[in-house]
Amino acid sequence: MAQPVTIYHLAINLSDVDRGVYEMLDLRLAKHPSETVRYLLTRVLAYALSYEEGIAFSKGGLSNPEEAAVSVRDATGVLTAWIDVGMPSAERLHKASKAARRVSLFTSGDVGLLRKDAATRPVYKAEALAIWCLETRFLDALEEVVGRDTNIELVHTDGQLYATIGGKLIEGQLTRESLVARA
Protein backbone atom coordinates (compact mmCIF):
# COMPACT_ATOMS: atom_id res chain seq x y z
CA MET A 1 0.00 0.00 0.00
CA ALA A 2 1.36 3.40 -0.98
CA GLN A 3 2.18 5.84 1.78
CA PRO A 4 -0.07 8.90 1.86
CA VAL A 5 1.17 12.45 1.50
CA THR A 6 1.66 14.47 4.68
CA ILE A 7 0.10 17.93 4.77
CA TYR A 8 2.11 20.78 6.27
CA HIS A 9 0.62 24.14 7.22
CA LEU A 10 3.29 26.82 7.48
CA ALA A 11 2.42 30.43 8.29
CA ILE A 12 5.40 32.59 7.37
CA ASN A 13 5.73 36.23 8.32
CA LEU A 14 8.25 37.21 5.62
CA SER A 15 10.49 40.26 5.85
CA ASP A 16 12.82 40.10 2.86
CA VAL A 17 14.62 43.37 3.50
CA ASP A 18 17.11 42.73 0.66
CA ARG A 19 14.26 42.75 -1.89
CA GLY A 20 11.80 45.01 -0.06
CA VAL A 21 9.18 42.24 0.21
CA TYR A 22 7.02 42.03 3.35
CA GLU A 23 4.23 39.45 3.25
CA MET A 24 2.27 37.06 5.40
CA LEU A 25 2.34 33.69 3.63
CA ASP A 26 -0.19 31.02 4.57
CA LEU A 27 1.11 27.83 2.94
CA ARG A 28 -0.43 24.38 2.83
CA LEU A 29 1.93 21.88 1.25
CA ALA A 30 1.77 18.21 0.52
CA LYS A 31 4.97 16.36 1.45
CA HIS A 32 5.34 13.47 -0.98
CA PRO A 33 6.24 10.15 0.72
CA SER A 34 9.59 10.09 -1.10
CA GLU A 35 10.39 13.70 -0.18
CA THR A 36 12.61 14.53 2.79
CA VAL A 37 11.68 17.25 5.24
CA ARG A 38 14.91 19.05 4.19
CA TYR A 39 13.75 19.13 0.56
CA LEU A 40 10.31 20.38 1.63
CA LEU A 41 11.91 23.16 3.69
CA THR A 42 14.17 24.10 0.78
CA ARG A 43 11.06 24.34 -1.45
CA VAL A 44 9.39 26.56 1.13
CA LEU A 45 12.43 28.82 1.45
CA ALA A 46 12.73 29.04 -2.35
CA TYR A 47 9.07 30.10 -2.50
CA ALA A 48 9.38 32.67 0.30
CA LEU A 49 12.69 34.15 -0.86
CA SER A 50 11.43 34.41 -4.44
CA TYR A 51 7.95 35.60 -3.52
CA GLU A 52 6.24 37.83 -6.09
CA GLU A 53 2.86 38.02 -7.77
CA GLY A 54 2.13 34.88 -9.81
CA ILE A 55 4.34 32.50 -7.78
CA ALA A 56 3.14 28.93 -7.23
CA PHE A 57 4.35 25.51 -6.22
CA SER A 58 4.38 22.88 -8.95
CA LYS A 59 0.93 21.39 -9.49
CA GLY A 60 2.44 17.96 -10.12
CA GLY A 61 4.73 18.13 -7.12
CA LEU A 62 7.67 15.77 -7.22
CA SER A 63 5.82 13.40 -9.50
CA ASN A 64 6.19 15.69 -12.54
CA PRO A 65 9.85 16.16 -13.53
CA GLU A 66 8.78 18.45 -16.39
CA GLU A 67 7.86 21.27 -13.99
CA ALA A 68 9.87 23.50 -11.69
CA ALA A 69 9.48 23.02 -7.95
CA VAL A 70 8.29 26.65 -7.86
CA SER A 71 7.38 28.87 -10.78
CA VAL A 72 6.21 32.38 -11.55
CA ARG A 73 3.74 33.13 -14.32
CA ASP A 74 2.56 36.51 -15.52
CA ALA A 75 -1.13 37.48 -15.83
CA THR A 76 -1.28 35.89 -19.30
CA GLY A 77 0.10 32.56 -18.05
CA VAL A 78 3.59 32.94 -19.54
CA LEU A 79 6.31 31.30 -17.45
CA THR A 80 8.61 34.10 -16.27
CA ALA A 81 10.64 32.28 -13.58
CA TRP A 82 11.68 28.66 -13.08
CA ILE A 83 12.78 28.14 -9.48
CA ASP A 84 14.34 24.76 -8.82
CA VAL A 85 15.50 23.03 -5.66
CA GLY A 86 18.29 20.58 -4.87
CA MET A 87 20.89 19.39 -7.37
CA PRO A 88 19.28 19.23 -10.83
CA SER A 89 21.22 18.00 -13.83
CA ALA A 90 22.78 20.37 -16.36
CA GLU A 91 20.23 19.04 -18.85
CA ARG A 92 17.34 20.13 -16.59
CA LEU A 93 18.93 23.57 -16.04
CA HIS A 94 19.36 23.93 -19.81
CA LYS A 95 15.68 23.10 -20.35
CA ALA A 96 14.67 25.55 -17.59
CA SER A 97 16.75 28.36 -19.10
CA LYS A 98 15.08 27.86 -22.46
CA ALA A 99 11.59 27.77 -20.90
CA ALA A 100 11.71 30.83 -18.62
CA ARG A 101 13.17 34.32 -18.63
CA ARG A 102 14.73 33.78 -15.19
CA VAL A 103 16.08 30.63 -13.56
CA SER A 104 17.01 30.28 -9.90
CA LEU A 105 18.20 27.30 -7.94
CA PHE A 106 18.06 26.91 -4.16
CA THR A 107 20.43 24.28 -2.84
CA SER A 108 22.50 23.19 0.12
CA GLY A 109 24.54 20.91 -2.14
CA ASP A 110 28.03 21.24 -3.55
CA VAL A 111 27.98 23.92 -6.27
CA GLY A 112 31.25 22.46 -7.56
CA LEU A 113 29.38 19.30 -8.61
CA LEU A 114 26.82 21.40 -10.48
CA ARG A 115 29.62 23.28 -12.26
CA LYS A 116 31.36 20.03 -13.13
CA ASP A 117 28.17 18.63 -14.68
CA ALA A 118 27.51 21.91 -16.52
CA ALA A 119 31.04 21.82 -17.95
CA THR A 120 30.18 18.57 -19.77
CA ARG A 121 26.88 19.78 -21.28
CA PRO A 122 25.73 23.14 -22.58
CA VAL A 123 23.41 25.15 -20.33
CA TYR A 124 21.57 27.96 -22.12
CA LYS A 125 22.32 31.33 -20.46
CA ALA A 126 24.41 29.59 -17.77
CA GLU A 127 25.93 32.91 -16.70
CA ALA A 128 22.47 34.32 -15.86
CA LEU A 129 21.35 31.40 -13.70
CA ALA A 130 21.20 32.35 -9.99
CA ILE A 131 22.27 29.67 -7.53
CA TRP A 132 21.23 30.42 -3.97
CA CYS A 133 23.15 28.39 -1.39
CA LEU A 134 21.55 27.61 1.95
CA GLU A 135 23.76 26.50 4.81
CA THR A 136 23.34 22.86 5.79
CA ARG A 137 23.41 23.71 9.49
CA PHE A 138 20.57 26.23 8.95
CA LEU A 139 18.41 23.55 7.32
CA ASP A 140 19.39 21.02 10.03
CA ALA A 141 18.24 23.42 12.75
CA LEU A 142 14.97 24.15 10.91
CA GLU A 143 14.27 20.43 10.53
CA GLU A 144 14.47 20.02 14.30
CA VAL A 145 11.75 22.59 15.06
CA VAL A 146 9.39 22.69 12.06
CA GLY A 147 6.30 20.59 12.52
CA ARG A 148 3.19 19.98 10.45
CA ASP A 149 1.62 23.21 11.75
CA THR A 150 4.26 25.88 12.31
CA ASN A 151 4.48 29.67 12.48
CA ILE A 152 7.74 31.11 11.19
CA GLU A 153 9.11 34.66 11.33
CA LEU A 154 11.58 34.75 8.40
CA VAL A 155 13.90 37.72 7.89
CA HIS A 156 16.38 38.05 5.00
CA THR A 157 18.78 40.97 5.25
CA ASP A 158 22.34 41.53 3.99
CA GLY A 159 22.56 37.89 2.91
CA GLN A 160 21.63 36.61 6.37
CA LEU A 161 18.58 34.52 7.18
CA TYR A 162 16.88 34.66 10.57
CA ALA A 163 14.07 32.22 11.29
CA THR A 164 12.20 32.44 14.59
CA ILE A 165 10.03 29.44 15.45
CA GLY A 166 8.41 29.06 18.86
CA GLY A 167 10.78 31.62 20.35
CA LYS A 168 13.88 29.87 18.99
CA LEU A 169 16.09 31.94 16.65
CA ILE A 170 17.92 30.10 13.86
CA GLU A 171 20.50 31.99 11.82
CA GLY A 172 22.18 31.17 8.53
CA GLN A 173 23.63 32.66 5.38
CA LEU A 174 22.13 32.80 1.91
CA THR A 175 24.87 33.25 -0.66
CA ARG A 176 24.59 33.70 -4.41
CA GLU A 177 26.81 31.59 -6.63
CA SER A 178 27.15 31.20 -10.37
CA LEU A 179 27.04 28.10 -12.51
CA VAL A 180 29.95 29.49 -14.47
CA ALA A 181 33.21 28.85 -12.61
CA ARG A 182 35.21 31.92 -11.72
CA ALA A 183 38.62 32.27 -13.33
Considering just the CA atoms, what is the radius of gyration of the chain in Å? 16
Residue 183 forms part of a structural domain: no
Q: Could you tell me if 155 and 17 are in contact, meaning their C-beta atoms sit under 8 angstroms apart?
A: yes
Residue 133 forms part of a structural domain: yes
Q: What digits encode the pLDDT tens for the residues 99-133?
A: 999 999 999 989 988 888 888 888 898 888 999 99
Residue 1 forms part of a structural domain: no
Q: What digits encode the pLDDT tens for the residues 48-90?
A: 999 999 999 987 656 667 889 999 999 999 999 999 999 999 9
Q: What digits encode the pLDDT tens for the residues 132-161?
A: 999 999 999 999 999 999 999 999 999 999
Q: Which domain does 127 fall in, by range?
A: 6-178
Q: Could you tell me if 37 and 10 are in contact, meaning their C-beta atoms sit under 8 angstroms apart?
A: no
Please say if the pLDDT value at position 95 is more than 60.
yes
Residue 16 forms part of a structural domain: yes
Q: In this predicted structure, what is the pLDDT of residue 7? A: 92
Domains in the chain, number:
1
Q: What digits encode the pLDDT tens for the residues 8-63?
A: 999 999 999 999 999 999 999 988 888 899 999 999 999 999 999 999 998 765 66
Q: In this predicted structure, what is the pLDDT of residue 67? A: 87
What pTM was estimated for this model as a whole? 0.93
CATH number of domain containing 138: 3.10.640.10
Please say if the pLDDT value at position 181 is more than 80.
no
Q: Could you tell me if 54 and 82 are in contact, meaning their C-beta atoms sit under 8 angstroms apart?
A: no
